[in-house]
Structure 1
């Protein structure tokens, strides 16, 4: 950038043009020291109620509680939470808490699929015979083809038709009977 060029500066005056919602008149009556923001009105009303209900114990302090109350009304005149008034911020938090935890998709509440039953069966096959397994076998040498050639591998187990399982106890009973018949 050369010395004669000035950097561009952007200014935003939106905040200066915005006027918060305030209450300064009730009919033809002008509120003293007004106008007041909603936060000031809440502190004004809530503080007055609190001072009236607790007069018995703070009355010995003299004017100190009343002065603190008026200073707190003055202090909340420009209160902002994240750039918003306290009531709009509170409304935002309430709407956030009221939303469905899954969120929204296309303006509608996102929901999971409805639950449905799963049906299935399984087959308990006999354990492979001990001894020489398929993985432990060495590859067979190439032999001449003969009419009496027998395969080196065991025959494939017969297909077992799956039976519906009625319960864990029935499953255990079936497994025990299979083991007994094999050992005989």
Structure 2
């Protein structure tokens, strides 16, 4: 591969750097053109307002017309934070159009509708806890060849040393009931 084949040169004409403009309509060239979309919008809206309100400003003579022409000239290359006015206006419209919570997956992100949460509980009279400490059963080994090797019956070892009789907490009472085969209803 030659050194010349690897080089790339680009040339951008000035037309790529200029904003989108209207200068011709069919074979007719617009006088004093080309015009930007913002200039066309100001010309159309301003002209409509001047025609509809001619009774209010006619006593001033040509001053409103000159102001209208100056407004058209002033918006030829304006920038709003580096953007053309039409794109800036479109950005504000789209910002206002967005849902307040944003979007997730292209859809409006919304909180779920609130609904009442009803709950209840039952208090039952339970028997007084016994003073004896409950022992947990030993773990059972799975049946198989290892279980056959035992030489005799297994003895059950206590899980914790025995405690002296005393007050028992509610959690301990529930654990004792669960160990006896009872349970919470």
TM-score by length of 1: 0.54
In the alignment of these two chains, the number of paired residues is: 127
Residue segments in structure 1 that go unaligned for 5+ positions in a row: 1-12, 126-150, 163-184
The aligned runs of 1:92-131 (5 Å cut-off) are 92-113=91-112, 118-122=117-121
The aligned runs of 1:53-132 (5 Å cut-off) are 53-113=52-112, 118-122=117-121
What's the offset of the Cα at 1:38? 0.9
1:182 corresponding residue in structure 2:
none
Deviations 1:62-92 (A, max 9, x none): 2111111111110010122121111111111
TM-score by length of 2: 0.54
**Cα separation, 1, equivalents of 2:49 and 2:169:** 92
What's the offset of the Cα at 1:100? 2.1
**Cα separation, 1, equivalents of 2:20 and 2:36:** 6
**Cα separation, 2, equivalents of 1:54 and 1:110:** 45
Q: Do structure 1's residue 38 and structure 2's residue 37 form an aligned pair?
A: yes
2:27 corresponding residue in structure 1:
28
Residue segments in structure 2 that go unaligned for 5+ positions in a row: 1-11, 125-164, 178-183
Quickly say closer, same or farther: Cα 1:108–1:47, change in 2 above 3 A.
Answer: closer
**Cα separation, 1, equivalents of 2:84 and 2:120:** 62
RMSD over equivalenced CA pairs, Å: 3.7
Deviations 1:7-30 (A, max 9, x none): xxxxxx9x9942211111111111
Quickly say closer, same or farther: Cα 1:30–1:113, change in 2 above 3 A.
Answer: same
Secondary structure of the residue that 1:56 maps to in structure 2? Answer: helix
Secondary structure of the residue that 1:77 maps to in structure 2? Answer: coil
